[in-house]
């Protein structure tokens, strides 16, 4: 099954509701489908993709690309290619774990800082008692190939995790591999997440900047993103 994608700055983003994506993942696992990976592009990653062709190809090679960031949604509307909904990586990861806890589906957690993967798995098992966890590790090792899991959450940070997943997909012990960036930190409680009202307003990035001021250099890419979107908009108007 191929999903409709809307392209922003040359990167395809899946234009489908979170509910339908979750349903697809579970049904596909029940059919023992082929391996694939999921990415969660935000404005920063789209800027990186404009500078690195290989990275752009990796993002576009994902079966599902979640539009993670209010900037993505706003840009899509400005360019006349509206995306139906914003789907953040951390919310998607938690909702997926909630759904699969009702099925004989096994998940794994790879990456994060010291003991963060373990803390993440523990938090999710307490919240969703039926969740089957088959792999928990901070680092990848060849012995993990022999684990049997269905969904692997990978938190190596971007763009490293997407490049790594694409390169190692065939040997990963999972049908679905998902790059989730800092989701482990939020779910485990290592990093405080913004209040829901700020998330609903699309201001989670601002709260995170206050909590982690060292991210200012990364947040500057938002300015570049806005300029690139405006450039694309003007190019369309000239046609």
Q: pLDDT (tens digit, 0 to 9) for every residue of the chain, 239 residues total?
A: 678 899 999 999 999 999 999 999 999 998 867 899 999 999 999 999 999 999 999 999 999 999 998 889 999 999 999 998 889 999 999 999 999 999 999 999 999 999 999 999 999 999 999 999 999 999 999 999 999 899 999 999 999 999 999 999 999 999 999 999 989 999 998 876 666 766 666 666 666 666 666 566 666 778 899 999 999 998 877 65
pLDDT score recorded for residue 84: 82
CA pair distance 187, 107, nearest whole angstrom = 15
| 36-39 and 11-14 strand pairing | unpaired
CA pair distance 101, 132, nearest whole angstrom = 7
Say if CB 64 and CB 38 are below 8 A apart: yes
What are the helix and strand counts (H, E) for the chain?
A: 12, 8
Q: What is the pTM of this model?
A: 0.90
The DSSP element (H or E) to which 19 belongs, if any, is helix 18-30
Residue 11 CA: distances (Å) to CA of 32, 153, 233: 28, 22, 15
Give residue limits of the domains in the chain.
Answer: 35-238
Exposure string for 163-178, b = 16+ CB within 10 A, e = fewer? bbbbeeeeebbbbbbb
CA dihedral 43, 227, 11, 197 (to 10 degrees): 30
pLDDT score recorded for residue 30: 86
pLDDT score recorded for residue 208: 64
Say if CB 95 and CB 164 are below 8 A apart: no
């Amino acid at each position: 099954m191929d999903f409709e994608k809307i392209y922003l700055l040359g990167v395809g983003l899946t234009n489908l509701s979170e509910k339908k994506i979750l349903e697809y993942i579970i049904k596909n696992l029940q059919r023992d489908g082929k391996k694939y990976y999921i990415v969660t592009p935000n404005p920063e990653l789209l800027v990186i993709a404009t500078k690195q062709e290989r990275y752009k190809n990796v993002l576009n090679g994902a079966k599902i690309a979640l539009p993670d960031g209010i900037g993505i949604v706003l840009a899509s509307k400005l360019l006349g290619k509206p995306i139906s909904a914003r789907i953040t990586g951390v919310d998607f990861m938690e909702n997926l774990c909630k759904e699969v806890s009702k099925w004989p589906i096994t998940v794994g957690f790879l990456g994060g800082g010291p003991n963060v993967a373990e803390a993440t798995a523990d938090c999710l098992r307490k919240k969703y008692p039926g969740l089957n966890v088959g792999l928990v590790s901070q680092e990848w090792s060849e012995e993990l190939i022999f684990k049997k899991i269905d969904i692997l959450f990978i938190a190596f940070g971007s763009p490293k995790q997407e490049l790594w997943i694409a390169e190692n997909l065939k040997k990963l012990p999972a049908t679905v591999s998902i790059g989730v960036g800092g989701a482990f930190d939020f779910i485990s409680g290592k990093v405080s997440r913004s209040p829901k009202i700020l998330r609903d307003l699309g201001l989670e990035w601002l709260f995170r900047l206050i909590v982690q001021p060292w991210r200012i250099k990364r947040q500057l890419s938002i300015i570049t993103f806005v300029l690139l979107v405006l450039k694309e908009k003007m190019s369309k108007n000239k046609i």
